[in-house]
Structure 1
């Protein structure tokens, strides 16, 4: 499918260049509708978009922002000003506070009638920020700094007075401002408390609303590492609930949505390399996917990352390996790197070429399977994933399939050019046809030349390999 982007992890905004393929635009509009309702009932508020990492929160935020920016003022709604603030860029409350008011000022209309409002909002930001921060962030020279000190000393320039002035101006203006903060769960514990203090106390202003996003479990884990909350799970949850007025739980990424996205990206991968699957390959991939991969690829980011990695390494291997084995190996390489590294250490056993008599003597039922599970544990596989990873190895290697008691034809891997064959194993771990191997395309052309009685480079290569690597070529 042309136009599919495997390597782009940027959020989409629903435009023609970044279309909404997951149907999240409707939920973004729902979020905007709730924002209007909150504004009708409260002069400030915090809404939280909650969902796992990689589930598309940033895309929903961008579509909500675009919807707000495209909204035309009516009798029921006002045009919102949107300020996007990245807390990662600031390490302390003072710097972040000044940045917040700078972003709010920048979001306000630049018409002359709003200049006084912008000035009063900026004055409040200055009042609550130390002079050193103002010097660094605003680039004030010495004369400007002296002037600012004098202005603070003269008259009522306290933070509380500046806040009252800003509140009055924002309330009279009646212009709603939305401050968007994404990925709060990636902040360090103390940085997260700084952001929450800013939102709850300093930035609690009339007609200023917040839309934040995070993965809830990760955020709670971060909160539990702070001195304020400690390891108390209930206290962490209560702290979060006190901050947020409205939860916006991202709709579940249903199995049918996951399967549809997987199918679309799989077809795009095959098309981009001029490939297709045979009915047997489709059956084998379906078995691998629905039995083992589906539970591990449950977010848009995980699916795109998976097929992106496959596309990055398929290249010269197209037509030289079994595509299903390649996709399963790619999953192990990216999701279970310890298992992938382990394959080389057990190559002889996996390809059925080991001469270790211990592998062939009689043993108790399940003993071989348990030995493989122990290897997987040592390779870093989580307990919940042991059976799934072992199942994938069974799909790749007849030797493992036999070990777990499901039988397996050792010749099947060779016939399909699978990793379970001693002749094709290396292709899957070096991402190309090794120099001492013979590519399938060369082999087929050589056979055609020999059958026709014509000379050719391919036939010469085949005869050379037949002499130097007789057993492999005969196989």
Structure 2
């Protein structure tokens, strides 16, 4: 079997199938009340519970319990379901036939008397149900004979039919004949009861009957409820039955009629909250196992702790039927077709809305933009009020509608799924949401409602297999082999799927131990030459994610996972073939928030030494992207300033390198000037702007190069197209303006 079965919502076949701990306590108690405890008088017991609570299951377990315990060996149980009959006559006849059939299984001498009496009662009451008076009123004899024959034939009593017709030809004998039949049954039951026996009649599904059928069954119960040594157990939804009776006062009934006919009301215990949570967890675990996925901790009902997610689901699952419907819904979402590639916690929560709040579910699926776009506005009261209004529309269906009784729980489910939509930056972690395939991600929101995965993206299985290949390799192989595994994992991916895998990679490494992450980081560094300059951002990001994890304090620890190792890895990455500007980003202060200035000296020094080599290399200034030179120069100046006297490169050294590169190749000047240029939005770079006059621009020029007189003769050597192709014509004009005037004092 490729998937678990759907729950058919059937009562347990055996008492051992009980999941709600009723068999150990409630069923023995019910058996004692209905069979062992009563005296010779008839008794009517009501077993009350809402739809889906398991009333039929209770009756099934009670029947099995009494049949397997010595104390109840003399009990005869007749189970009857009036819901199967739409005709009152058929209902009456079947009721008595069911009891007679159970009596027929007993070999005791009193059984024949009981069966004859039951058939007589059945015939008379069936005829009465046809609307023909049998208690002294005149009747149409032909219609009477027709009804009597139908009743007797249904009861399998042709001879009794003839006797009945003859007797009822005189209507005065009708009531007497009915009374004699009842007395015969009573005598037989007394004989049966004196020998230690008791008749238990189980009547189910009263709450499903129409008004007319319900009143018919109550009239029937009224004729037999006083039979000796007989208990009638009525299973029903009390509220629904009372509502029907409340509107039946004209027929002689009323809301309080149940109190007149039922001597002992018993309410079925509601399932224990923790027990229900445990059952939900178990069924979800079984479901997820068919996706080769373990049960997420958020859905694990632990003995002493319930996570918010499983608690919110359990609050809505009140009955066994609720549980069956809910689990079936989750299974149809996840297992009915190809894997829709969802976050399993979110799937479990959204199906809670679908089953128990279908109107809210429908409004949620129509509110993708509101629920998935990050709310990055300020805490403006008007903006928050507007978003609160939209959230209330989703929950209530309209602003004029009254608050729902369980609105707090509904809000909590929505907050678990999407974050609080009324709070600033409620859904800011879009990258994390996408990597986890969360419903709050715009990329995956639709998957939860169209039952299919997003096309053109890696499935969770593909990501899992690729990551396991890398992590397994890291357990036993050297860095170069790990690097090969990393390169192979990304080699066939396009830009979109590569970025997706990188994001998922960043969260999956947090589940590994620091030693393994260190090996993966070295493997990523070793893979840099394989990716080449066109795809080097992939290994760069893998190294960065690894360093971030290793540099982040672990839970229950005050410091990072491996501070010394992290510094060594950073130095190793800086000295790798990774481009100099990407290497600089590895020293981002967000990654090294825990590190002191002294601890950052080693990687910063390593980077400056490499920057010195880069600036000595004339090919550095001929890169396709002029901004790369700008970034290199500015980062070098910043690192020199940060290290101060400990820097291996001084400001004068940098000036010497830049002047030398310009003198060697004047075409380098435009790109170097970008490092001090301003770039107003949608405009070309400038040296002179409203916020910086010529004198200030000149001072920055001196800080950058240390001298400027050599520039004038070089300007004529720089072709005009060098300035124009880099959109630096304004920088050119500003530079000529600066050097054409008397230099300000410095």
Tell me the TM-score normalised to structure 2 length. Answer: 0.53
Structure 1 residues 352 and 337: alpha-carbon distance in aligned structure 2, compared to 1, 3 A threshold: same
Which among 346, 351, 358 is matched to residue 325 of structure 1? Answer: 346
Partner of 1:119: 116
Query: C-alpha displacement at 1:443, in angstroms?
Result: 5.3
Partner of 1:197: 219
Superposed CA deviations along residues 133-173 of structure 1, whole A, max 9, x for unmatched, are 752784599x8798356443479563233223333333334
Query: C-alpha displacement at 1:180, in angstroms?
Result: 0.4
Which among 30, 55, 66 is matched to residue 57 of structure 1? Answer: 55
Superposed CA deviations along residues 397-417 of structure 1, whole A, max 9, x for unmatched, are 24xx24256844332322311
Partner of 1:389: 410
Counterpart contact for 1:13–1:60, Cα < 8 Å = no
C-alpha separation between the residues in 1 aligned to 2:200 and 2:402?
A: 43
Partner of 2:81: 86
Counterpart contact for 1:28–1:63, Cα < 8 Å = yes
Counterpart contact for 1:285–1:324, Cα < 8 Å = no
Superposed CA deviations along residues 301-345 of structure 1, whole A, max 9, x for unmatched, are 212321222123212676922111111111112222222222332
1:312 to 2:309 alignment: no
Structure 1 residues 146 and 128: alpha-carbon distance in aligned structure 2, compared to 1, 3 A threshold: closer
Partner of 2:30: 31
Tell me the TM-score normalised to structure 1 length. Answer: 0.81
C-alpha separation between the residues in 2 aligned to 1:453 and 1:150?
A: 94
Larger radius of gyration: 2
Counterpart contact for 2:298–2:307, Cα < 8 Å = no
Structure 1 residues 437 and 134: alpha-carbon distance in aligned structure 2, compared to 1, 3 A threshold: farther
SS of match in other structure, 1:61: helix
Query: C-alpha displacement at 1:44, in angstroms?
Result: 1.0
Which among 190, 204, 211 is matched to residue 182 of structure 1? Answer: 204
Counterpart contact for 2:7–2:325, Cα < 8 Å = yes
1:132 to 2:147 alignment: yes
Larger deviation, residues 267-276 vs 305-314: 267-276
Which among 35, 54, 64 is matched to residue 66 of structure 1? Answer: 64
Structure 1 stretches lacking a partner, 5+ long: none
Superposed CA deviations along residues 35-90 of structure 1, whole A, max 9, x for unmatched, are 235531x42110111122222222221121112223436xxx66111111111122
C-alpha separation between the residues in 2 aligned to 1:167 and 1:186?
A: 31
Which among 355, 365, 388 is matched to residue 344 of structure 1? Answer: 365
1:289 to 2:287 alignment: no
C-alpha separation between the residues in 2 aligned to 1:239 and 1:286?
A: 46
Partner of 2:178: 159
SS of match in other structure, 2:395: helix
Counterpart contact for 1:32–1:68, Cα < 8 Å = yes
SS of match in other structure, 2:247: coil
Query: C-alpha displacement at 1:193, in angstroms?
Result: 1.7
Partner of 1:44: 42
Partner of 1:7: 7
C-alpha separation between the residues in 1 aligned to 2:299 and 2:126?
A: 64
Structure 1 residues 23 and 459: alpha-carbon distance in aligned structure 2, compared to 1, 3 A threshold: farther
Partner of 2:651: none
Larger deviation, residues 177-186 vs 199-208: 199-208
C-alpha separation between the residues in 2 aligned to 1:359 and 1:406?
A: 9
Query: C-alpha displacement at 1:129, in angstroms?
Result: 1.8
C-alpha separation between the residues in 2 aligned to 1:21 and 1:150?
A: 53
Partner of 2:608: none
C-alpha separation between the residues in 1 aligned to 2:191 and 2:465?
A: 81
Partner of 1:440: 460
| Structure with larger RCO (C-alpha < 8 A, sep 6+) | 1
Counterpart contact for 1:223–1:229, Cα < 8 Å = no
Counterpart contact for 2:35–2:198, Cα < 8 Å = no
Partner of 1:420: 440
Superposed CA deviations along residues 377-400 of structure 1, whole A, max 9, x for unmatched, are 1189971133322222222224xx
Counterpart contact for 1:265–1:307, Cα < 8 Å = yes
Partner of 1:100: 95
Structure 2 stretches lacking a partner, 5+ long: 128-145, 471-482, 504-746
Structure 1 residues 56 and 100: alpha-carbon distance in aligned structure 2, compared to 1, 3 A threshold: same
Superposed CA deviations along residues 240-288 of structure 1, whole A, max 9, x for unmatched, are 1111011222223222322332333233333343212455776998212
Counterpart contact for 2:35–2:231, Cα < 8 Å = no
C-alpha separation between the residues in 2 aligned to 1:258 and 1:144?
A: 56
Superposed CA deviations along residues 175-195 of structure 1, whole A, max 9, x for unmatched, are 421110112112222222221
CA RMSD of aligned residues (A): 4.0
SS of match in other structure, 1:161: helix
Larger deviation, residues 128-137 vs 253-262: 128-137
Structure 1 residues 146 and 167: alpha-carbon distance in aligned structure 2, compared to 1, 3 A threshold: closer
Structure 1 residues 162 and 144: alpha-carbon distance in aligned structure 2, compared to 1, 3 A threshold: closer
C-alpha separation between the residues in 2 aligned to 1:204 and 1:186?
A: 25
Partner of 1:246: 264
C-alpha separation between the residues in 1 aligned to 2:221 and 2:155?
A: 27
C-alpha separation between the residues in 2 aligned to 1:102 and 1:122?
A: 7
C-alpha separation between the residues in 2 aligned to 1:206 and 1:199?
A: 14
Counterpart contact for 2:117–2:180, Cα < 8 Å = no
Larger deviation, residues 7-16 vs 404-413: 404-413
SS of match in other structure, 2:50: coil
C-alpha separation between the residues in 1 aligned to 2:275 and 2:283?
A: 12
